[in-house]
């Protein structure tokens, strides 16, 4: 990692002090200064903030996901700490009880009353700093997102990710340290304030309480959505250079091997043009000599569970030597994957007797796709007969350097990668490559080609639209209130490809939970509209006021078809939701 990226990370951390959603936190910082405590306390606040923010960035997503807990829990925990500290400032006896556990741990231990005061100030400073660090999480920008993605996917971190997190966290802590020291110095310089220490302390408690209440009722998120994100724009500009972007990509995919990087460069980099350009549904004539050799195929790595293998036994590529193998990266709620799946299943049924194998690598995009029960149910429902590797930790994804759903790679009988296809379509050429490699492996009298219609959308359509706040884009209307029930009002108008909420919603990181009167509108251009839904109830739909079929939702997250038309439709799609239904993301065709 370049020193320039560390400098950019530190600067990006500094910029968060002027992020709109940080403003409700600042009274708590000022409160910590006016209650005094000296440099030791100021350093403790800054240290607690940096440690809590950094450790949460690296570990909290992975831990909470593994425990099946909502990601908003870390934010809620920080608010609880802030409320408790406010009570500690307002009620001296409560403050003493709060600090007693830290005294037993020997935080700042030294003899004498002044040392005890310093110890209590240090303990309270660490707690306050830690709560501020967690409250900072929603306000971070693109660099933090790259670090956070590693936690969500892998749970382990390389030196670069840890170092960049430390630089970012120090950048966040530095202005807080300066602000606390400045406030404390101004306070102690005023004789009246020194003479009325108890009242000053209680005033600090009131300010802490004001911060907690403001944040509880969504002030931070409202400011972040209502005020232009100038700091995020600056940070985005800082990360736009090729070298910085390259370093961030490497941190976001820390386990990618040199072999995976070479493989992806070979598959997607410049190379000779194919000798043919087949139509979508045509299978051309192709020889194995027409397919480049990209080297040995990476093995299945860090698979958390196997489905459709004898007794759930692990499968190694060495066991498939002598066969032609298709490795298919997919996930069960991805409409692009579901449109390509009939082709993969047809190839398996047609060519398996001739020595062809398929291994589906199910790499999850959403939290619910980590569930073995959900994946097993989907595999059964979709009639997938070939082995499926649950790649919950992205081990195989990274070993291949993959970055897309769906993605298909062909391995020849000698274990070498010979072909890759990213995304939908190109089914004719993929089948031609399968037949060529089977012939080269000694197969004779191959059966006729398959005839599965290509459903790949050819017209321009609305981009995939996520509904949770982590990846919410093209949104208009009431400011988003994260992780709490809030009543929304439609925007007066909806721009193309934008959406807006109405009624009561709880907007989480990856989904939205319907409450009373929950509805949404989205301006679409598509012939087909799909939405991942969970829970129990009904979703009503209309397009420009014309009623569409209702969807009866029941059970785990599943992809539902909201609209299926013979030609592209353009208009405002409106959906109404029964309370308790969760919605994740729209895809369009």
pLDDT tens figures, 533-588? 999 999 999 999 999 999 999 888 888 999 988 888 899 999 999 999 999 999 88
In a 3-state reduction of DSSP, which class is residue 64? helix
Nearest to 98 by CA among 83, 78, 113, 79: 83
pLDDT at 371: 86
Q: Tell me the percentage of the chain whose pLDDT exceeds 70.
A: 67
pLDDT tens per residue, range 497-540: 999 999 999 999 889 999 999 999 999 999 899 999 999 999 99
Q: State the fold for domain 255-440.
A: Glutaredoxin (3.40.30)
Count of C-beta atoms within a 10 Å radius of residue 262: 14
The dihedral sign for the CA sequence 525, 529, 532, 537: positive
- DSSP 8-state class, residue 468: S
Per-residue pLDDT at 163 exceeds 90? no
Rounded to the nearest 10 degrees, how much is the dihedral formed by the CA atoms of 226, 229, 230, 234? Answer: 180
> Side-chain half-sphere of 534: how many Cα atoms within 13 Å?
15
Output the pLDDT for position 572. 94
Residues 501 and 575: their CA atoms lie apart, in Å, by: 10
Distance CA 158, CA 518 (A): 43
Mean pLDDT value across residues 264-268: 64
What pLDDT sits at residue 250?
Answer: 57
In DSSP terms, which residues pair with 573 in a beta bridge?
522, 543
Question: Is the model's pLDDT at 263 over the cut of 80?
Answer: no
Residue 2 DSSP class:
-
CA 352 – CA 358 distance, rounded (Å): 8
534 with 552: CB under 8 angstroms? no
Whole-angstrom distance, CA of residue 200 vs CA of residue 193: 7
How sure is the predictor about 34, in pLDDT bands with cuts at 50, 70 and 90? low
Q: Confidence class of residue 252 from pLDDT cuts 50, 70 and 90? A: low
Of the options 3.30.450.20, 2.60.120.260, 2.40.110.10, 3.40.50.980, the CATH number for the domain spanning 465-588: 2.60.120.260
User: In terms of pTM, does the model score above 0.85?
Assistant: no
Query: Cα(first)–Cα(last) distance of the chain, in Å?
Result: 40
Residue 86: closest CA among 184, 226, 206: 206
d(CA 126, CA 52): 10
CB atoms within 10 A of CB 580: 14
Which of 210-214, 376-380, 404-408, 517-521 is least confident?
Answer: 210-214
Q: What value does the mean pLDDT of the chain take?
A: 77
Q: At what angle do helices 159-188 and 113-135 cross, to 10 degrees?
A: 130
pLDDT value at 164 more than 80: no
pLDDT, position 188: 61
Proportion of the chain above pLDDT 90, given as a percent: 31
Answer whether 255-440 and 465-588 agree in fold. Answer: no
Mean pLDDT of 178-203: 67
Per-residue tokens: 476? 């208009």
Cα gap 532→466, rounded to integer Å: 10
In this structure, the number of other CB atoms found within 10 A of the CB of residue 578 comes to 16
Question: What pLDDT shows up at residue 229?
Answer: 45
Domain ranges of the chain: 3-249, 255-440, 465-588
């Amino acid at each position: 990692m370049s020193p320039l990226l560390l400098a950019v990370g530190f600067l990006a951390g500094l910029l968060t002090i002027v992020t709109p959603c940080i403003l409700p936190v600042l009274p708590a910082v000022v409160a910590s200064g006016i209650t005094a405590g000296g440099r030791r306390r100021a350093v403790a606040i800054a240290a607690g903030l940096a440690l809590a923010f950094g450790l949460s960035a690296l570990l909290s997503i992975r831990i909470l996901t593994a425990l099946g807990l909502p990601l908003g829990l870390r934010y809620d925990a920080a608010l609880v700490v802030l409320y408790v500290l406010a009570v500690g400032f307002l009620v001296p006896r409560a403050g003493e009880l709060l600090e007693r556990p830290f005294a037993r741990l020997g935080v700042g231990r030294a003899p004498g009353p002044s040392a005890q005061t310093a110890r209590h100030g240090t303990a309270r400073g660490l707690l306050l700093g830690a709560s501020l660090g967690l409250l900072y999480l929603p306000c971070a920008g693109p660099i933090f997102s790259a670090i956070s993605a590693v936690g969500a996917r892998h749970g382990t971190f390389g030196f670069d990710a840890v170092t960049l997190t430390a630089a970012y966290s120090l950048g966040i802590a530095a202005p807080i340290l300066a602000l606390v020291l400045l406030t404390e110095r101004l306070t102690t310089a005023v004789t009246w304030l020194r003479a009325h220490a108890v009242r000053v302390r209680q005033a600090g408690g009131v300010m802490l309480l004001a911060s907690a209440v403001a944040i509880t009722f969504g002030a931070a998120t409202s400011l972040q959505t209502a005020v232009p994100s100038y700091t995020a724009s600056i940070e985005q500009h800082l990360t736009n250079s090729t070298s910085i972007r390259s370093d961030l990509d490497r941190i976001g995919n820390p386990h990618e091997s040199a072999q995976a990087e070479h493989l992806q460069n070979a598959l997607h980099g410049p190379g000779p043009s194919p000798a043919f350009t087949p139509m979508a549904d045509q299978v051309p004539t192709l020889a194995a000599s027409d397919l480049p050799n990209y080297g040995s195929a990476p093995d299945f790595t860090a698979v958390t569970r196997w489905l459709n293998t004898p007794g759930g036994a692990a499968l190694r590529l060495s066991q498939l030597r002598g066969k032609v193998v298709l490795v298919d990266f997919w996930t069960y709620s991805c409409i692009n994957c579901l449109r390509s799946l009939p082709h993969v299943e047809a190839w398996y049924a047609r060519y398996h007797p001739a020595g062809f194998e398929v291994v589906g690598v199910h790499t999850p995009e959403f939290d619910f796709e980590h569930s073995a029960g959900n994946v097993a149910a989907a595999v059964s429902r979709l009639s997938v007969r070939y082995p499926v590797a649950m790649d919950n930790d992205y081990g195989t994804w990274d070993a291949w350097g993959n970055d897309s759903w769906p993605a298909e790679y062909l391995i020849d009988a000698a274990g070498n990668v010979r072909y890759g296809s990213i995304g939908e379509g190109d089914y004719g050429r993929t089948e031609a490559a399968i037949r060529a490699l089977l012939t080269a492996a000694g197969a004779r009298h191959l059966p006729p080609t398959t005839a599965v219609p290509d459903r790949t959308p050819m017209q321009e359509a609305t981009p995939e639209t996520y509904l949770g706040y982590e990846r919410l884009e093209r949104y208009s209307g009431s400011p988003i209130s994260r992780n709490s029930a809030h009543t929304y009002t439609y925007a007066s108008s909806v721009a193309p490809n934008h959406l807006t909420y109405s009624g009561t919603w709880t907007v989480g990181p990856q989904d939205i939970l319907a409450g009373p009167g929950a509805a949404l509108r989205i301006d679409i251009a598509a012939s087909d509209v799909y939405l991942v839904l969970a829970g129990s109830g009904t979703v009503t739909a209309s397009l420009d006021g014309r009623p569409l079929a209702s969807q009866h939702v029941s059970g785990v997250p599943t992809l539902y078809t909201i609209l299926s038309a013979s030609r592209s439709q353009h208009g405002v799609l409106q959906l109404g939701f029964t309370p308790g239904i969760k919605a994740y993301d729209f895809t369009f065709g």
